[in-house]
Structure 1
Amino acid sequence: MSLIADALQPNIARGLFALSGRPSVRHMSDTILIGPKSGYDLDIDDASEEVSIDFREGAFIAEAFGGDASRLASASFTTMSGLVGAIEDANSLPWALIRLYYASFYSGHGLIRLMGHSCTYFENKHVQHIKSLLNARGTMVNFALSGGLYSCKMNTKQTGFTMIQARGRVGGAHEAFWELFDGILSEFSETLVLSNLDKNDARDVLRKVEAARRIFRKGGGASWLSSVRNEIQYRHGKGVWSPLNLNRSRREALSRLAGQWTRDPMDIEIDTPPVDELPNFVLACVFTIALCRCALQRLKDRSPRAASSFAQIPLRIYEGA
């Protein structure tokens, strides 16, 4: 049993443990348009530029967060299929590393949804619907409310969420996401101090999470993974395209690191990462993927209907990958 699963469990949204089958809500943004027939409450905080939405139904909001998490984790594990071997091949190496990044990006998105957060793009149609409802009740919005990327957080009753525009320090949607992801990991680290874990166990989990965060934050900010992916994908850098600068032994070493995505996150060798950038990149990616898988496994194991838990959907893909 994983220590990090024990540490994560109190941070997982309660309603997800009882969620079973294939969730009908697969995109968080669509909750705005397909909310319960009873409607939902809206509130505006002009000072923080925050919108609060309460659907008054815990099952609906669990399905929204769980459905989104299942979709994203499934995409991550599908992306990992055959990837470890592809890293060894000189011709497939660059796109294998780009795929690895996207697998971690999807898993990171899935993980924060399991923890009651999301980084979600709301289209103009979603925002216009909110505006229409506010206008109907005579509520004025004194800040720019428009389509874009929003940071969402489940409310304490777990019947709705707040949404505020996500703004990274630099860059676009990927950079904004990794800043949010790092912030959630930081909050998770803080909860370890008050957790029920043995002090030594809590310290071990904290050390592992903080080791990953140090890689995420290389070079300042928290979007180093995105920077490396951009350099590989758009600048054809890091010596992974022709003419190739990585010999077979280095490619095999990267492949072995990538193969750790199936391990317990506590066993991933991230505590003292190597000096080279590519091994750091691979380790941080696989740690994120393994962390998401670990949370899904704990959800399934603790579900009163484990065989039909919604977590089974991405886990079956993982088992087939």
Structure 2
Amino acid sequence: MSVAADALQPLLVKELLVLRGRAAFGHFSEIITNAPGAGYDIDFDEATNQIRIDFRESAFLGAAIGSDASRFAGAAFSSFKGLDVHLDDASSLAWGLVRAYYSAFYAGHALIRLLGRTCTQIESSHLNRIKNIANALGKPVNSSVSAGLFVCELNPTQTGFEMRQARGRVGGAHEAFWEVFDGFVSEITEDVLRGRIAPADARAVFLKLDSFRKITKRASGASWLSTVRNEIQYRHARGVWAPSVLKRRERGVLSRTAAQWKRDPMTMDIDGPPGGDIGAYVMACTFLTALCREVLRRVADRSSAGVNSFARFPLRLCD
């Protein structure tokens, strides 16, 4: 097993280690409007516009996290499967690179959920429910809080979460997500260094994650992957559309990089990947998808649910 999974295991949402089968919730945000029982407690911090929700128990909150993580991981793995073949073929190279991005985007969403945080679209219906409960409790929420992308972070007891609006420096939801993800990776690397694994292993994981961050921060902010994907998908840039300027040998480098997605991410040469910018782009996407897979495997292996662990379902897509 990967030392990366060893390093991140203490950060896992505990309820995921007992979650069986397919979780009931389709999206994490549904617990706001469809929570079981009478409701939940709410607190609002006017200084920071942060909303704190507490359900006083962790089981169904874990189920909601698990459902989201399973859905995103499944999307990541199914998108990456067979990608090496597409990157080797000039006629499918461009869409292969777009697929690589979305695999990483989905894997990032899955990974932060496994470790206790989400980046979730909150609609007006969710906010109206929150505001109605808050008013009933005499804790009104500021009317300036509006629908959009929110960061939701589980509290220490994992019975509730704190939510705040996510805003990137530029761009839309994808750019905002990568800003959130970069901050999250920065936090967990510090946790890794303070963790219980051997110092040499902790430093190795720290350096891998830091190298990943350096790729994603090649441009302003932390959304370089999204920038490259936009250039390829919408501007037909980077010379990857037919007739592609990438030679067969260069495509072969990208293909071999993508073929590593089921390997231990700690074995990947993410510090100096071959292939220039496009090579670094594919390496970062491959690394993140592989890291998500390793952490999900750790959940499945440590689960008291055994073969019925929720984590087994998306992992089947890796076979």
Using the size of structure 1 for normalisation, the TM-score is 0.97
Checking the alignment, whether the CA contact within 8 Å between 2:153 and 2:163 is kept in structure 1 is yes
The one-letter code of the counterpart of 2:138 is G
2: CA distance between counterparts of 1:225 and 1:183?
A: 16
Q: Provide, for residues 72-109 of structure 1, a one-character-per-residue CA deviation record: whole Å limited to 9, x for no partner.
A: 00111111222210111111110110011001100000
2: CA distance between counterparts of 1:138 and 1:212?
A: 45
1:146-225 equivalences in 2 (<5 Å): 146-225=146-225
Q: Provide, for residues 138-163 of structure 1, a one-character-per-residue CA deviation record: whole Å limited to 9, x for no partner.
A: 33333512211001100111011111
The one-letter code of the counterpart of 2:292 is C
Q: Which runs of 5+ in 2 are unaligned?
A: none
Match of residue 87 from structure 1: 87
Match of residue 28 from structure 1: 28
2: CA distance between counterparts of 1:134 and 1:200?
A: 48
SS in 2 for 1:91: coil
SS in 1 for 2:24: coil
Checking the alignment, whether the CA contact within 8 Å between 1:49 and 1:143 is kept in structure 2 is no
Checking the alignment, whether the CA contact within 8 Å between 1:300 and 1:306 is kept in structure 2 is yes
1:213-292 equivalences in 2 (<5 Å): 213-274=213-274, 276-292=276-292
Report the CA distance between 1:207 and its aligned residue: 1.2
Checking the alignment, whether the CA contact within 8 Å between 2:250 and 2:275 is kept in structure 1 is no
Match of residue 139 from structure 1: 139
2: CA distance between counterparts of 1:210 and 1:119?
A: 21
1: CA distance between counterparts of 2:187 and 2:315?
A: 26
User: More displaced, 141-150 or 55-64?
Assistant: 141-150
Q: Provide, for residues 269-317 of structure 1, a one-character-per-residue CA deviation record: whole Å limited to 9, x for no partner.
A: 1022347100000000011101110110000111112211110010011
The one-letter code of the counterpart of 2:129 is H
Q: Which runs of 5+ in 1 are unaligned?
A: none
SS in 2 for 1:121: strand
Does residue 18 (structure 1) correspond to residue 30 (structure 2)? The answer is no
2: CA distance between counterparts of 1:257 and 1:142?
A: 48
User: More displaced, 8-17 or 80-89?
Assistant: 80-89
The one-letter code of the counterpart of 1:2 is S
Match of residue 2 from structure 1: 2
Using the size of structure 2 for normalisation, the TM-score is 0.97
User: Percent of aligned pairs with the same residue?
Assistant: 51
The one-letter code of the counterpart of 1:14 is K
1: CA distance between counterparts of 2:293 and 2:217?
A: 23
In the alignment of these two chains, the number of paired residues is 319
2: CA distance between counterparts of 1:316 and 1:172?
A: 32
Checking the alignment, whether the CA contact within 8 Å between 2:178 and 2:222 is kept in structure 1 is yes
The one-letter code of the counterpart of 1:156 is P
1: CA distance between counterparts of 2:204 and 2:89?
A: 35
SS in 2 for 1:43: strand
* TM superposition outliers: structure 1 runs of 4+ over 4 Å: none
Match of residue 311 from structure 2: 311
Match of residue 106 from structure 1: 106
2: CA distance between counterparts of 1:156 and 1:316?
A: 31
Match of residue 295 from structure 1: 295
Q: Provide, for residues 13-39 of structure 1, a one-character-per-residue CA deviation record: whole Å limited to 9, x for no partner.
A: 111111111100120111111102131
The one-letter code of the counterpart of 1:221 is G
1:56-75 equivalences in 2 (<5 Å): 56-75=56-75
The one-letter code of the counterpart of 2:89 is D
2: CA distance between counterparts of 1:191 and 1:5?
A: 13
Checking the alignment, whether the CA contact within 8 Å between 2:193 and 2:206 is kept in structure 1 is no
2: CA distance between counterparts of 1:30 and 1:66?
A: 13
User: More displaced, 216-225 or 230-239?
Assistant: 216-225
2: CA distance between counterparts of 1:140 and 1:300?
A: 41
The one-letter code of the counterpart of 1:211 is S
2: CA distance between counterparts of 1:244 and 1:273?
A: 21
User: More displaced, 252-261 or 76-85?
Assistant: 76-85
2: CA distance between counterparts of 1:77 and 1:275?
A: 23
Q: Provide, for residues 243-290 of structure 1, a one-character-per-residue CA deviation record: whole Å limited to 9, x for no partner.
A: 311111111111001111111010111022347100000000011101
